Structures are given as structure tokens and as C-alpha cells.
Amino acid sequence: MTRTQQIGVFIGLLIVAALTAVRASDPPLLQQARDVTFDEYQRIAPRPFEPVPVHVIDIDEASLKEFGQWPWPRDRLALLVRRLSDLGAAAIAFDMLFAEPDRLSPRSLAAGIEGIAPDVIARLPDNDQIFADAIAGKPVVLGFGLSNEGDYRPPVKAGFAFTGEDPASALPHLSAATPLRPGLAENAAGIGHISLNPGNPSPVVRAVPLFVSDGNQFYPNLAMEALRVAQRASTYVLAGAPGIAGVMTSAKIGDFVVPVTSAGELWLYVTPDRAERYISARLILGAADPPPAVAEAINGSIIFVGTSAAGLQDIRTTALGENVPGVSLHAQTAEQILSGHFLSRPDWADGLEILSIAVLGTLLVFVTTFVSPAVALVCGLAITALALAASWFCFSALGLLFDPLAPIVGGSITHFAATSFRILVIDRERREVRRAFGHYLSPSLLYRIEHNRDALRLGGDDRELTVMFVDVRHFTAISERLAPTAVVGFLNTLLDALSRHVIENEGTLDKFIGDSIMAFWNAPVDVADHEAKAVRAALAMRETLERLNATDAFGFGTENPVGIGIGIHTGIACVGNMGAETRFNYSAVGDAVNVAARIESSCKEVGFDILISEETARRQPEIALLEAGAVGLKGKSTRTELFAVVGDAELAASAEFEELRSLHNELLAALRIRSSKLRRLASAVRLRAKIVSPQLPDFYRKLARRADHFRHADTEADEQPRAAT
């Protein structure tokens, strides 16, 4: 195996590992793609409609036209219950809430009229009581909704038995429920929740929770209660996973066992909406007896009462893309259980899909690397066909849901990456240069290196560089009050924003050292005016930091700005590839590098953010500079003349800066001889400094304590240099 092949295999396996990890984390995008795939399967082969004893009494537009707008008075619902019961309905389930009193009740209407005696009001009919009396002893199931307000819990009309571990924590949580009117909960034969997809932001209803739990008690949904009441069963049997709490596998009610997801949901396997499912409420409530076909359909059937009227806004979207009444999905839930046509996604489906990405991806990596991309392409197409065929067979023949996209997408990405690697190594020499310098150089410099190989000499090379060091002020204090991940986020935001200016000004990023940046100019190729470009980058960093602080990009508050110090020096350094034979860095070493680092450290003592050496300053007299004194740098036997970079050439040409520079020079002269004019000059300089730059007030506050930095060099020949802090 050649080194190139080793690298190709390594990169390919890394990609496979990354794809496997992404699939294992199952991000929302993959979940959505998987759901859309399963929707397409249902559209190709929907559940066939079967004449099972389930029907919907539809409060449709014709019913509203005949009996008036919704809500109807509950004495009319009482009449509906009596007639359905007389026709032999096995269960009557209302997909509606009864939380508020009937506003159309005679007693409620009279109570709102002044002057009617209370005893007269008490003798008037109460529609809520009429409805409660009508459902007593009838197979009526009432619905309740999930709520986040109050603490009402509906009564439970059935018992629960369990096998395996307790699955309560797996189910959707019931914080509270919409209340039922007095008398209704007591007289109903069953009570179930009517929520179809609680907590799911998708408009498509793909699975319905058969049970919810408040942590102690279980509550069935409307369809399950209708099935229980129709069978006159008394107990649900819930199966949990053996030895694993919080996982549900199935639910049994009467003669029916229903496979569910681990969260207690039933995957809906829907049919296209059919007119045979619906019976208009006007046919039941009309003065004449219902047609014989309607009476026959109701006898022995589970009846769901709901509305398809568009104005009542109980419209849901199915996996087939149809917009149907919400009550239809409750009916389809019961139909699916009665017909025994289920969809399920085994608990081990995720593991199988993750394993398929790892195994098939690894196979494609080795085939692409050691055989040929063409053979790998054939293998990839075969994997795609096999995955689609196997997934479709499991759906159509077994009712199992397996995602074919996992191995297909994973294999495609792996094959593309491995093939691309083989193609790209053809131009290895140029790519090696890009790999070595692409992260450190501006595009213009990189282009020059690629097209002028004589401009690049690998190995040690003494040349004049302009070196820059950037450091974050008070980083230790910042780190102490932030979590480690927050510190990393802060550094990434800051260093990314600052380092861009190095690249934009044709500099080379040497390295990041914790909270510091080292960069240099004039290597690996010659850069004209490298001193000016380094200073230009520093000024751009200052502006960027001011913008980040003003917009609170770090989240510390605008009253807690982040500060930096920048030191720049021009001198001779050795630059080239340094390190071990198998791992090296392109870097610079030498006295010029050390001086730049010490100048950056002096920013704290001097009280200014950008300091440059005399060697850098004298090559660009046009920018706005102020003498900052001769500072003793650690490791240097003589003091180093430093200059504060106040601004660019435009600022240097302004009248305000000219006046400040004149006052500054007078102040330094007075400081050296300790003139009596010192206090007056200092006051005048501070006043002018506030106008020119917000960085200068601190500089002048500290300047008075640094008088020794401005003495003539001949007076300090016998003194030891003082190290900058």
C-alpha cells in the first residue's frame, strides 16, 4: 500500500465515521427526509379501504345549513345520541370538547336577562343536563384536549395492566386537560384525548399517540376508548420492553393487539379519503327516519361524531398529502386496528441503518482506493438498488419501515469523496504547496507561489520581516468567568475576525498561541511595503474590535469591551520549514520575532493598543504616530524606541492631529527637563487627545509615570534596562 493509498483510506474512513456519527445523532433534517420517504411509500401503495364497522357522523355544510351554525345546542346532540343508540351503534365517540356551558341553553339565556326571578330560571331546561342524561347508560365516549393551564385530570373509565417495565416516561406528558361539564364525565362510558400530534411541529399527521400520561395515570385516546367501549372491555394491557424502562412495544384492548412505537404511538397507514366513511348528521337528525342503508351502516358500528365544515378549522394533512377532517384520522385509527394493517419501525431499525453506512461505506473506500472508481461506481449503484428494493419489500410485504436513504446517501458521499481524492492527487505538487500555505497566505501570494516556483525556497532563509504579535487583554479574568466551551467560542469569534486582516494585507499567519496571534510579512515571497501593510492590518484589527464591542458580539455587554495589544517590529529573522521530518511548521525565529513579542507586552505598561518599533516607524512617516518613549524590553541590553500608531495617513494630515503632535512634542520636552509647564501641557494634551482617539487618554495617564522612558540615552548608559510587563 503506497502512502497515497494510505492517506486515501484514512480520509475515506474518516468520512465514513463522520457520516455514521451524523446518522447516529439523527438530526432533524434526516428525520424529515425519512418521513418524506415513508410518505411516498404510502402514496404509491396506500392502505386499501375495507368496509369495517367504523363511520363518521359528519356535521357537514348541509347539516349546518339545515340546523343552523355551530355550536349546536346540546339538546340536539342529546337527540343525536338517542337516535344513534336506537339504531344500534356499538360506540359513539365525540371528536369535540365540552369544556364550556351551552350558551344556547334556555337556562343560560334567561340568566342573562334582568328581571327574571331565580326560581323561574331554575325551572327552565338546561341543555347540559339534558345531554348528560341522554348519554347515561349509552356507549358514549367523550373527548378532552391537552392543556398547559390548570390541573384538571379527567376520570379514567378503564383499568390498566402491564407487562415488562413501566412505559410511563415514554408517553407524551399530560400537564392538564380541558375540563368536562358536570355530569358529562360521570355519565360517559369512556373518555379519551383527541390530540393527534401533540408537540409535533409538522403539519402532517403520521403517527397518533394512543396514550398520554401525567407520570402516574395513563389516559387513552378517543379511538382506543371507542374500541374498548364497543367491545365492552374493561382493561388495557400495555407491554413495555423487558428490562428497559420508558419504552412501549404494544397495547392490547379486547381482542386486538396494537404494535406501537417506543413512545406509544401508532404509525398511521391511511387510505385516500372516501365518501363511504361519512354519514351526514342531517340524515340522523331529520324528521324522517334515516335511509335503510344508513341504518344498516350504523348498526353495530363504531361511530365518530365530528365536522368536515371548512369554517370550523378541524382540517389535518395526511401522509398522502390530503387535507381531511380531524375526525377522519380518529376513524382511520380505529379502521386500521380492526383491519390489522399496521406499519411499524422496529427498535433495531436505527442500528441497522447506522451499521449499513459503516459497512458499505468502508467497502466503497477500499474498492475505490485499490480497484478503480468505475468498479466502485457499479458497487454504489448496486447498493442503491438493493437498498431501495429491500426497503420497499419490507414496507409492502411486511409493513416494516426502513430508511433506504441512509445507505444510499452515505455510500454516494463516500464514493464521491474517495473518487475525488484519487483525481486530485494527479496534481499533487501544486496541491502540496496549497496544503502547506493555503491556511496562512492571502490568495494573491498563493497565486504568485504557484506560478513562480523560484519565489519559494523551503528551508531556513534569513530575510527581513515585519513581525506582528496580537494578544487579548485580561484574558485570564475572562476565562475565569466563562465555561470552557464559551471561552473557545469567544476566541474563535475574536481570532477569526482579527486574522482575516492579516490575509487581506498579504501577510502570513504563523500560529495561534492560546489567545495570541503571530504573523509576519515579506515571506515566503517578497511583499512590497510590508511594514505599511502590517500597520494597515493592525489598524483594521482595531476597527473590527470596536465594531465587535459595539454590537456586543461576545455577549459580555457593551459596558465590558474586550481589549487587545499589538506589537510590530521590522528586522532580520530566519524563516522556513521547522520541526521534524514527518511534521513541521512554516515559521520564523530570531531576534526580530522576540522584539515584536516584547513590544506587544509593553502595550500594558505604555497604555496603548498598537505599538511599533523605530525600525518600522521610520519607513512610513506619513501615518499618525506619536513617540511612546524608549522602553526596556526583556532580554535586551538597551532600550527600544517605540511609537504609538494613532491612525492612518488621513488622520496624520488632519489639523486636529497636527495640533496634538505639536503639544505632544512640547510635553515630552517638558517631561525630560521637568519643566514648570508640565502640568499645563499635560492638561492641554489630554483635552486634545480625547478629540483625536479614544485610545489616547489612558496613554497620557500612564505617560506621567514613565518619565524615565523619555530621558536622553546618554544619561542611562550606566543603568540596567527595565523589563516591560
* Mean predicted confidence (pLDDT) in 595-619: 94
SS3 183: coil
What stretches of 516-658 adopt beta strand conformation (E)?
516-521, 564-579, 584-589, 610-613, 624-632, 639-647
| pLDDT digit string, tens, across residues 663-703 | 998 888 888 877 777 788 888 888 888 888 888 988 988 88
Rounded to whole angstroms, the Cα distance separating 458 from 279 reads 86
Nine-digit cell at 467? 513581525
First to last CA, the chain: 54
What gap in Å lies between CA 349 and CA 667, rounded to an integer? 80
- Bigger pLDDT: 448 or 389? 389
- CA distances (Å), 486 to each of 13, 196, 416, 489, in order? 31, 40, 36, 5
Q: What are 118-144's pLDDT values in tens digits?
A: 776 667 888 889 999 999 999 999 999
Taking the C-alpha atoms of residue 70 and residue 309, their distance in angstroms, rounded to an integer, is: 10
In the prediction, which pLDDT does 714 show?
A: 39
As given in the structure block, the three cell numbers for residue 63 are 347539516
The contacts of residue 160 (CB under 8 Å, 6+ apart) are: 218, 235, 236, 237, 238
Q: What percent of the chain has pLDDT over 90?
A: 47
What is the reported pLDDT for 361?
A: 84
Is residue 440 pLDDT above 70, yes or no?
Answer: no
Tell me if 707 sits within 8 A of 671, measured CB to CB: yes
* pLDDT, tens digit (0-9, with 9 covering 90-100), for 346-391: 878 888 888 988 888 888 888 877 777 777 778 888 888 888 999 9
Beta partners for 237?
161, 252
Compute the distance between CA of residue 634 and CA of residue 641 in angstroms, rounded to an integer: 14
Q: What is the pLDDT of residues 26-44, one digit of tens each?
A: 888 888 888 899 999 999 9
User: At which residue does the C-alpha cell 471561552 appear?
Assistant: 487
Q: What pLDDT is stored for residue 368 in this prediction? A: 78
Q: CB–CB of 228/159 below 8 Å?
A: no
Q: Which of 352, 333, 351, 350 is nearest to 342 (CA)?
A: 333
Instruction: Give the burial string for 16-28 (b: 16+ CB within 10 Å, else e).
Output: beebbebbeeeee
Classify burial at 593, counting beta carbons within 10 Å of its beta carbon; exposed 0-12, middle 13-18, buried 19 or more. Answer: buried
Cell numbers representing residue 515 in the block: 489567545
The pLDDT confidence band at residue 715, using thresholds 50, 70 and 90, is: very low
Q: Is the dihedral angle over the CA atoms 501, 506, 507, 511 positive or is it negative?
A: positive
Cα dihedral 151, 156, 160, 165, rounded to 10, equals -10
Spatial distance between the Cα atoms of 508 and 437, rounded to a whole number of angstroms = 9
**pLDDT-based confidence at 240, cuts 50/70/90?**
confident
252 pLDDT exceeds 90?
A: yes
Question: Is the separation of the CB atoms in 165 and 247 below 8 Å?
Answer: yes
Inter-CA distances, 206 with 269, 397, 695, Å: 8, 20, 62
Q: How far apart are CA 535 and CA 628, in angstroms?
A: 16
Rounded Cα distance between 163 and 165, Å, is 7
Task: Write the DSSP string, 34-98.
Answer: HHHHHHHHHHHSPPPP---SEEEEE--HHHHHHH-SSSPPHHHHHHHHHHHHHTT-SEEEE-S--
What whole-number distance in Å separates Cα of residue 302 and Cα of residue 230? 7
pLDDT digits (tens, 9 = 90+) for 201-235: 788 999 999 999 988 899 999 999 999 999 999 99
Distances 642 to 107, 464, 468, 566 between C-alpha atoms, Å: 94, 19, 14, 12
Q: Tens of pLDDT along 507-554?
A: 988 888 889 999 999 988 889 999 999 999 999 999 999 999 999 999
With cut-offs at 50, 70 and 90, classify the pLDDT of residue 1.
low
Give me the helices (H) in 394-452, please: 405-424, 428-437, 443-451
Q: What number of other Cβ atoms are within 10 A of residue 723's Cβ? A: 15
Cell of 301: 358500528
Cα 594 from Cα 723, distance rounded (Å): 13
Reported as a single tens digit per residue, the pLDDT across 614-666 is: 999 998 889 999 999 999 888 888 899 999 999 999 999 999 999 999 999 88
Reduced to 3 states, what is the DSSP secondary structure of residue 307?
coil
**pLDDT value at position 697?**
87
Q: Which pLDDT does position 459 carry in this prediction?
A: 56
Question: How many helical (H) and strand (E) elements, i.e. helices and strands, does the chain have?
Answer: 26, 26
Q: State residue 536's pLDDT score.
A: 96
Cell of 473: 487583554
C-alpha cell at position 334: 380505529
Least confident of 47-61, 97-111, 222-236, 348-362: 97-111
Handedness of CA 708, 712, 718, 723 (dihedral sign): positive
Distance CA 629, CA 711 (A): 8
Helix (H) or strand (E) run with residue 238 in it:
strand 235-240
Model pLDDT, residue 208: 93
Distances from the Cα of 692 to the Cα of 620, 621, 650, 686, 698, angstroms: 20, 18, 12, 10, 13
CA 660 to chain CA mean position, Å:
51
* H-helix or E-strand spanning residue 531: helix 530-550
SS3 of 140, please?
Answer: strand
pLDDT (0 to 100) of residue 582: 59
- In three-state secondary structure terms, 521 is strand
Distance CA 286, CA 67 (A): 9
Residue 295 has pLDDT above 70, yes or no: yes
> Is the confidence at residue 723, as pLDDT, over 60?
no
CA angle 95, 101, 104 (to 5 degrees): 95
What is the band of 164 on the pLDDT scale with cuts at 50, 70, 90?
confident
For residue 664, which phi and psi values (nearest 5 degrees)? -60, -45
pTM here is 0.56
567/504 Cα distance (integer angstroms) = 19
Q: What is the mean pLDDT of residues 443-462?
A: 59
Q: What number is the average pLDDT over the span 430-435?
A: 58
Between helix 3-25 and helix 349-370 the angle, nearest 10°, is 160
